[in-house]
Structure 1
Amino acid sequence: MKGKLLFACYFIMVNSVFSQSQKILKGVVMCEKNPVPKVDVANYKSKQVITTNTLGTFSVQVKVGDELVFISKNYEIKRLMVDQKTMNLNNLIISLQLKPEQLNEVVITNIASIKLSADNKWEEGKIEEINLIKNATSLKNPAVYDGRIENGVDLIKIGSKIMALFKKEKEPIKKEIPKIEFATLARKTCDEKFYIQTLHLKPEQINLFLQFCEADPKSQTLSKETSVLNIMDFLIYKNTDFKKL
């Protein structure tokens, strides 16, 4: 009987000491006397992350030696080491500071960047670990597969980008105008009377004459034109050289 009584006293004493070592710490996050909602409050040692409500209040289980980190994209990161003095407080008030505006900085992404203080490595590590904790501790039904791969590649985002490429309107293909030989164009532009009566060529000389004209690089330029006068002037000019041969 005496042994049972001693065991009960020991159990009560240990439970009392354990209960005193841990506490539900309540507090409110403020900025310039205004409550700040949606602030991540992370207990770095216990890996517990909670978010302030619309009134800026939070409740988190802590013990002496824990480290609390307060993170919000619009405010400077703040950390707090929990000591016995903090444990004795009934309501903790955390004051955050707004990030200074940087007018000379252009943001080209829709993801808000977090400005780091002088201790860049410490804050970068905290942000990465807190994001992993939030993803791992978010409520999910393990019996239902939602098609996502944890901490993996965002296949949906990649797929949407690929589909966007197919949805873009294709540029109209410029049809290349078929090249017309100068001899063919000259035949269609000027009738046979022009070669015989104006240029004084014999019928059997017309084809040879047009081949002679086609050897001139200028004929390539005239092949792209539709001006009858320019073509006739060129034929008259080349006829003089042809007669010299």
Structure 2
Amino acid sequence: MKAKLLTTISFFTYQISISQTEKLLHGKVVSQNNILSNVEVINKTAKTSSKTNEFGEFSILVKEQDSLLFFSKDYLFTRLKLTSKDLEKSYLIVEMTPKAEELENVIVSRSAFTKTEIKKIANNKEEINKIIIRKKFDEVTSKVNVYDGRIKNGLDFSYPIFDKPKKKIEPRDDRFKKLVIATCPPDFFIKNLNIKPEEKETFLKFCNADPKSKTLLEKSNDLELIDFLHTKNEEFKKLK
């Protein structure tokens, strides 16, 4: 009888302790005043997950200091470390940032724009279309032949026989770097990985040297990419 009583007391004590630390968190995921459905909501600490419904709403069991990750294909992933103030709220609003639209064969020089202007262009389709039209115009005008005073069929002294053979320079593969920048928020390296701004370029080269980075380029899975960066960060810090 005593054994049963002790078991019952232990069970209720456990239930009370669980209820004191865990809470069913309710919230909504939005972006620029638009609700986001089918967003993956992951409690990385507790290894549980949920998804937003058609109204952008979600519910997930959490406790203080848990790390929540929010994933959606067309948006930068968002990480939230829960505090006691977050748990006191009856409803949590999470804001996600759209990924910059990728344009093929369009190159915008960063030196020609301020940071504010670059951000404005990245989220303004009208400005993007202007860049495309301007580039097409430049391509057409570059094909127009203009007489430069040279004699037709004359000897071309720029022909390779008059020059020393130049060493072929292999183009640098920046695809992995571009993938990371397009996927991760600007403060990800400082807040999540504790990497200083001056170390960021070296760290990305270190990651790019790993053959797995090429696999991630083919799969393009945000969650696998984040786990890969955390793993490489631990290796990177051991080298320092």
TM over 0.5, shorter chain: no
Give me the TM-score of the superposition, normalised by structure 2. 0.43
Give me the TM-score of the superposition, normalised by structure 1. 0.42
